[in-house]
Amino acid sequence: MPFRALLYHCREALRGIARNGFMSLASVTTVAISLLVLTLFLLLGANLANVFTWVEEQVQIRAFLADDLTEARRELLMREIGRQEGVRSVTFIHKDQALQELADRLGTDAEILQGVDSINPLPHTLAIEVEPEHAERVAEMVAGMEGVDQVSEKGEMVRRLVAVTRVLRWGGVALMALLAVATVLVISNTIRLTVYARRQEIAIMKLVGATDSFIRAPFFIEGMLLGLAGSLLSVGGAWWAYGYAMTLAADSVPFLPMLPRDQLFADLLPALVAGGALLGVLGTNLSIKRFLRV
Amino acid sequence: MMPLLAIDSSAGRPGSPGGRGVAPMIEMYDVSVVFPNGARGLHKVNLRIAKGEFVFLVGPSGAGKSTFIRLIYREILPTSGQVYVLGRNLARLRRREVPYLRREVGVVFQDFKLLNDRTVYDNVAFALQVTGASPREVRKRVPAVLEMVGLAHKATCYPDELAGGEQQRVSVARAIANNPRIVLADEPTGNLDPDTARGIVELLLDINRLGATVVVATHALDIVSSHRQRVVELRDGRVVRDVERGLYRRAL
């Protein structure tokens, strides 16, 4: 396309946007909201995935040992557990060490432990690092072993979380699809208004021999601009929201790792901008097919 | 200065009838048009219009004059029969080829079809811009055609500031802007008083003298009679009379 034709199409596209000011605004807003929801889902998804990797690394089975277990028996037990498939390591935690860890975790609240020092109620513990998919089996096996009083397994929680995210993910996909359809329809309607406003010009263009692609071009540019504007707004909104979420998380769940904002958005931005433009083009296409008939 | 309309050395004498060694511009063979609602537009029309001819298409309202015109610029296709324009079978013309045909066929309507939010100059320039002309071509061509239709001094006016006849001249200027080989006019004088109408027809005759083949659909019979040109009369979609210039003169 020659440069002056492109210039002409862009000018016509901007005229179209200005002419349907309100509908253009509605389109941009719809694109922005749709993409904002999409972006938030993506951000949530990326962070959940990140948290899971972190949680999975924390999957640990704790076996609380009977008080009267001898050191030799304990060594035997540890070797036996270490041989199981999926077990990465077995570490012995002395009850005094466990108490110390508890005190550390409680921090300033540790004073409630005063007086417990002398009669440490905590058992000796084996910390078993295990691959998540083997956690359940290993936990059962360990529970049945002689000298093991009780087993606590955190794998169940992870599995439940994973199941919840799956639901979240599919729900998100469905919601995003619906929003994408709504966006396409709203853009299509805006373009339809421009087509309607320009029907006389279009008739004359056809009459004097303008090609179909020449007639269509400004409408595609208009749709694309609406999509782009919407996507940029949504990225701005998501940027702010993510920053806010990070501040909140830093206060309430500081131990949860969150992905750094700059990197995340650098990855997402091109896809979101392209997505907005694509929705615009799809909306235009729908309108052109139904109303322009060129 | 560049010619306003391309004059081909092989062009027939203005006003010469079709056939006889002159390249046909428009040919219709057994052309019938039936509209979706069942109304008949044309019925088995056979006609040849040669390069350089000027043809009046007459007949009462509903005789099929507009249908005839619309076939030539391929607004519609015949239900049966063949239409050839510039040697191309229009039924075989691909969609994307239609715009290029239309650049060779200028059309003028009774209601002018001007864009009221653009000046006279811009209305004419529009036809060139949307067919990919360079700004330089536009700057050369628009004043030339405005000069030809006698509206050079109204270039900056808007259509609704002009009289009907002047508006129609703008519409003619736009039709010839792309230097078409065929100019069609569908009741170009329908909204104009007789004197103004005469002026428009004179203008179309001038365009014909410069080499374009011109077809004018009209029911202004006094104008037709005063110009000794070929007359094709339609009635109920059939050609009931086709009088060449010589014959027509004898009939007077």
Asked if residue A273 lies in contact with residue A213, where contact means CB atoms within 8 angstroms, the answer is no
> Scanning every residue of chain A, which has its alpha carbon at the shortest distance from the alpha carbon of B103?
A209
Question: What confidence tier does A277 reach under pLDDT thresholds 50, 70, 90?
Answer: very high
The total of other beta-carbon atoms located within 10 Å of residue A176's CB is 17
| Residues whose CB falls within 8 Å of the CB of residue A271, separated by 6 or more in sequence, listed in order | none
Residue ranges in chain B modelled with pLDDT below 50: 1-3, 6-20, 246-252
Please tell me the least confidently modeled range out of A75-79, A153-157, A233-237, B216-220: A153-157
Report CB contact under 8 Å: B178, A208. Answer: yes
Q: Are B105 and B185 in contact (CB under 8 A)?
A: no
| φ, ψ dihedrals at B89, nearest 5° | -75, 115
Categorize the per-residue pLDDT at A19 as very low, low, confident or very high, splitting at 50, 70 and 90: confident
Nearest CA-CA distance, residue B173 and chain A, Å: 12
DSSP state of A290: I
Is the whole-model pTM more than 0.90? no
pLDDT at A56: 67
Beta-carbon separation of A211 and B99 below 8 A: yes
Do A209 and B101 count as a contact with CB atoms less than 8 A apart?
yes
ipTM of predicted assembly, 2 dp: 0.84
Q: Where are the beta strands (DSSP E) in chain A?
A: 60-65, 87-93, 125-130, 148-153
Residue A97 pLDDT exceeds 90: no
State the pLDDT at residue A88.
84
Cα B237 to its chain centre, rounded Å, is 19
Give yes or no for a contact between B90 and B84, defined as CB atoms under 8 angstroms apart. yes
| B113 touches A at CB < 8 Å | yes
Q: How far is CA A178 from CA A167, A182, A184, A271, in A?
A: 17, 6, 10, 19
- Residue B173 has a pLDDT of 96
At A267, which helix (H) or strand (E)?
Answer: helix A261-287
Read off the DSSP letter of residue B137. H
Determine the residue among B130, B139, B174, B176 to mutate to test chain A binding: the one whose Cβ has the most chain A Cβ atoms within 10 Å. Answer: B130
**H or E element, residue A18:** helix A3-19
Nearest to B99 among A2, A201, A210 (CB): A210
Range A264-277 average pLDDT: 88
pLDDT cut 90: percent of chain B above it: 73
Minimal CA–CA distance to B130: which of A136, A22, A12, A30? A12
Model pLDDT, residue B207: 96
Share of chain A above pLDDT 70, in %: 93
What pLDDT does B1 receive? Answer: 42
Q: CA-to-CA distance for B45 and B29, rounded, in angstroms?
A: 6
Using DSSP bridges, classify how beta strands B213-217 and B54-58 pair: parallel, antiparallel or unpaired. parallel
Name the more confident of A103 and B204.
Answer: B204
User: Which chain A residues have a beta carbon less than 8 Å from that of B182?
Assistant: none
The whole-number pLDDT of residue B12 equals 40
Q: Given CB atoms, is B126 within the 8 Å cutoff of chain A? A: yes
- Give the residue-averaged pLDDT of A176-200: 85
Three-state SS at A210 = coil
Contacting residues of A for B124, CB less than 8 Å apart: none
Share of chain A above pLDDT 90, in %: 11
- Residue B251 is predicted with a pLDDT of 42
CB contact B130 to A (< 8 Å): yes
Report the residue from A209, A211, A215 with minimal CB separation from B178.
Answer: A209
pLDDT for the residue numbered B30: 96
Q: Which of A2-6, A174-178, B71-75, B113-117 has the lowest mean pLDDT?
A: A2-6
Of A273, A265, A270, A266, the closest CA to residue A238 belongs to A265
Q: How far apart are CA B166 and CA B178, in angstroms?
A: 20
Contact assignment for A5 to B132 by CB distance below 8 Å: yes
Can you list the alpha helix ranges (DSSP code H) found in chain B?
65-72, 98-102, 120-129, 135-148, 164-177, 194-209, 221-226, 245-251
C-beta separation of B52 from B228 below 8 A: no
Per-residue pLDDT, B122: 94
Contact residues on chain B for A4, CB-CB shorter than 8 A: 134-135
SS3 of chain A: helix, strand, coil, percent, to 5? 75, 10, 15
> Looking at A152-156, A184-188, B160-164, which range is the least confident one?
A152-156
Both tokens of B205, joined, read: 């005759």
Average pLDDT score over chain A: 83
Q: How far apart, in whole angstroms, are the C-alpha atoms of residue B82 and residue B92?
A: 10
pLDDT value for A6: 84
